[in-house]
Structure 1
Amino acid sequence: MLVLAQRSFLVGPVSFQGPCASGRITVQVQGKIMAPPSTAVSTCSNYWLMFTRVDGLRVTGNGVLDGNGQSWWIRRCSDVALKLVGCSNLEVSQLSSKDSPQMYIAIIESSAVNVWGLTITAPGSSPNTDGIHIERSQNVQITNSRIGTGDDCISISSGSRFVSVDGIECGPGHGGGQGYAKSISFTNIAFDNVDNPVVIDQFYRDRSFEAAVVISNITHTNLKGTSSRPTAVAFDCSNGGSCTDIHVNSLMITGSGGRQTVARCRNAQVTTTGQVYPEIPCRS
C-alpha cells in the first residue's frame, strides 16, 4: 500500500487485520496521513491506525503521520496513533510522526521487531504521548531515532523481554510504572545540559500506585556530559530493600561550564568502578 508523496489524506480510525496470504506486507508512506479532529469523532476508539496479526509487516517511508493532537489532548482520549498487535517479523522505519492523540507507537504481543530511523515530536506538555510503548513483546530493537514527547520517550511494560535501545535522541519526556525492572544496562550515553541525567526513583507517581517498582541488577557504563541542575545522579529508593545491585562503571557528569555536581542516594545498594563523578554517597 502506497501513500503518495506531496499528498495529504484525512483518515479516521482504521484497522487492518490478518493473517494475510502474503508473507510480506509493505505500507509505504511518502505523503501525509492526518487524523480527524476530535470534534469529528463521537467516541474514543483506543487507536487511530491499527494492524493486528499481520506477520512480515513493514511500515516505512519518508512521510508523516499527523495525529492532530491539539484537539485530542483536551478530551483525554487514549487513542494510539499506530497500534501493532500480535505481529512478528515487524519493521517500522523512517517515518515522522507528530502530535499523536496519545501514544505514538504501541507494540503489543509481538516478536522480532525492528524499529529505526523515526522522528517523533510533541510538546512537552502533551499528556501521555509516549513515543514507543512495548508491551508483552520480545526480541525488540529500537535504534537511531529522535523522540521528543510529553511522556516517556520509550516505555517498556509487563511481559517484555530482550528489548534493545540504542542511538536514541530523547527529550522532552518523563516516565512512570509499577511491577519490577531488572537486568538493564545503560551504556555509552552522552548528556547535554540534561535536567535529570541519571535517575532511579521508586517514589515517582504517574498514577496513584502504592507499591514501588522493584529494581535489581542495573548497570551504568561510560556515562558522561553535563547536567542543567546541581544534582546529576539521584538514586531514590524505598526502605523495603527493593533496590539492589546497582552498578556504576565510569561516570563523569559536570554542570555546564564545568560547574560541580552532586549525587543523591537513598536506600540503594551501589557498587562503583573506574572514575566516577560526582561521588556516589551510598556505595555498598
Structure 2
Amino acid sequence: MGIIGVLCTAILLLAGLAWCGVLVATAGGVDGVFNVEDYGALGDGTTDDTKAFVDAWAAACDATGSSATLLVPAAKSFLVGLIRFNGPCASTRITVQVMGTITAPPASAWSEKKNHWLMFYLVDGLTVTGNSTGLLDGRGQTWWVDKCKADNDDCVVKAPTALVVMNCTDVELSQFSSKDSPQMHIGLSISGKVNVTQLTITAPEDSPNTDGVHVDRSEDVHITGSTIGTGDDCISIGPGSRFVTVDGIVCGPGHGVSVGSLGREGANVTVEYIDVINVQFINTTNGARIKTWQGGGGYAKSISFTNINFTNVDHPVIIDQFYEDQGHVSHKGAVALSNITYTNLNGTSTEKTAVDFYCSQSGSCTDIHVNSVAITAADGGRTVARCQNAQVDTSGYVYPKIPCGANAPAPSPDNGK
C-alpha cells in the first residue's frame, strides 16, 4: 500500500470521525436540534406526548451553544396538554420549529384551572416558527359547545389561551397557523421586543372570546403581515401597552382591531403610542375601535389608524366609552383619550352610522384628528357620523361629515361588543 496510501487512509478515517462528531453535536448537543420524537413523542394524535415535549424543551433550554432548536416534525399530530416552557435558557437563541400539528386535549380532559395551554415564561431570545403545515389546533369546539368562557364560573375549568408569551424579551412568532383556540389564540403579556409576523389565525365567527392576538403590559410589539378571522377582536391591545405597531393585517370575520377594553372595575390604565397601519377589515362587526369601561381612570393617547380599508363593516370607526352599560349616559370617571388620529380611511359600512365617537363626559375625548375619510353605505345609501363629548378637527375630504359640536346628538346604543 505504501506510506502515501497509509497516510491517505488515516486522513480519511480522521475526517470521517470528525464528520461523525459534527453529526452527534447537531443531533442533541451544542447548537443542537432536539426532536420531540427522540424523547418519546409518537405523534399519532391520540397518545399523550406532553412529557416528551417537556423533556425535549429541558434539553434544548439547557444546551450551552449559541442556539438550540426544539423540533416538532412534519406530517404528524402531537397531542399535548398544558405546558409551561420555563426559562431562562443557556443559549442565546432558542427556536421551536413547528412543522407538524400540536393538538390540545378536549375540554373534558382538563383537570386544572389554567389560563393558558402552551406558555413560554422568562425566555429571552425566543423564536416560534413553522411553515405551511405548522399548526396549533386548540380544539375549541369542545369548549364552545358548553359556552365555556373565561368569565363563566359554571365551566369545569376556564377556557385557556392557546399560546402565551409572558415575561419574555426578543421574541419572534412567525409562519405558523393557529385554529380554534378555546379562548384567545395568542397572548403577549409583560414582554418586550416582540415580532409577530406571517401568521394565519382562524376560528368560527360565533366562537366566544377567540381574539387573534392580545397584547397587555408589553412594549415594542410589531404585529405584521398576518391574516386573522375569529369570533372576537382580530387584535386587542390592553392596559399597560406602549409602542405597538399593527401593519398589513387582513381581519375578518371578527370584532376589528381594538384598543381596549380599558378601565374595567375602575382600574387606572395607561396605553400610548399605538399605530394601526394598512389593515383590511372584511365583513367584521367593528373596524378601528377604542373601547373603555365606565368608571375607569388613567389615559390612552397617541393612537393612530392609517390607510385603512373597510368592506361591509358594521361599525367602521368607533370610540365607545360606555362599554359596561351602553345607552346610559354617566358622569362617572373615564379613561382620558387624547391625540387620536384617523388618516386615509375608505370603504363601506353596513350600518348607517359609519363613524361613532361616543364619549362619556366633556374632556374625556380630546385632540381627535380626522384626515381624508370616505366611508359609504354598502347598500348605496348615505352614511352619517355621530358624536357625544368629543373634540374633533377634520382636514381634507371627510365623508360622512362629523358633527362634533356642543349640541351633537348622542348615538343610539347599537354597537356590538
TM range (shorter): over 0.9
* Separation in 2, partners of 1:248, 1:105: 31
For residue 5 of structure 1, report the CA deviation from its aligned partner.
1.3
Moved over 3 A (4+): 210-213
Map residues 29-44 of structure 1 onto 2, 5 A cutoff.
29-44=98-113
Answering whether residue 306 of structure 2 is matched by residue 187 of structure 1, we say: yes
- Answer yes or no: is the 8 Å Cα contact 2:143–2:159 preserved in 1: no
Identity %: 64
Bigger radius of gyration among the two = 2
* Separation in 1, partners of 2:130, 2:99: 5
Map residues 29-178 of structure 1 onto 2, 5 A cutoff.
29-62=98-131, 63-73=134-144, 74=146, 75-76=148-149, 77-174=158-255, 176-178=261-263
* Separation in 2, partners of 1:205, 1:231: 21
* Separation in 2, partners of 1:239, 1:137: 29
- Answer yes or no: is the 8 Å Cα contact 1:272–1:283 preserved in 2: no
Question: Residue 265 of structure 1 aligns to which amino acid in structure 2?
Answer: C
Greater shift, 165-174 or 115-124, is seen at 165-174
Query: Could you list the per-position Cα deviations for residues 165-194 of structure 1 after superposition, in whole angstroms to 9, with x for gaps in the alignment?
Result: 111112333353324321100000011111
Gap runs ≥5 in structure 2: 1-69, 150-157, 264-268, 270-298, 327-331, 407-417
Question: Residue 162 of structure 1 aligns to which amino acid in structure 2?
Answer: F
Q: Which residue of 2 aligns with 1:246?
A: 368
The 1:93/1:283 distance shift into structure 2, 3 A limit, reads farther
Q: Which residue of 2 aligns with 1:219?
A: 341
Query: Could you list the per-position Cα deviations for residues 20-66 of structure 1 after superposition, in whole angstroms to 9, with x for gaps in the alignment?
Result: 11111111111111100011112222111111111110001121100
Aligned counterpart in structure 2 of residue 268 of structure 1, from 390, 400, 404: 390
Tell me which of the two structures has the higher relative contact order, counting C-alpha pairs closer than 8 angstroms and 6 or more residues apart: 1
Aligned counterpart in structure 2 of residue 201 of structure 1, from 320, 337, 340: 320
For residue 241 of structure 1, report the CA deviation from its aligned partner.
2.0
Greater shift, 141-150 or 215-224, is seen at 141-150
For residue 102 of structure 1, report the CA deviation from its aligned partner.
1.1
Question: Residue 183 of structure 1 aligns to which amino acid in structure 2?
Answer: S
For residue 245 of structure 1, report the CA deviation from its aligned partner.
0.9
SS of the aligned residue for 1:152 comes to coil
Question: TM-score, structure 1 length as denominator?
Answer: 0.94
Q: CA RMSD in A?
A: 1.9
- Answer yes or no: is the 8 Å Cα contact 2:81–2:105 preserved in 1: yes
* Separation in 2, partners of 1:272, 1:40: 55
* Separation in 2, partners of 1:203, 1:190: 26
* Separation in 1, partners of 2:309, 2:141: 32
Question: TM-score, structure 2 length as denominator?
Answer: 0.65
Q: Which residue of 2 aligns with 1:7?
A: 76
* Separation in 2, partners of 1:194, 1:283: 26
Question: Residue 238 of structure 2 aligns to which amino acid in structure 1?
Answer: S
For residue 124 of structure 1, report the CA deviation from its aligned partner.
2.3
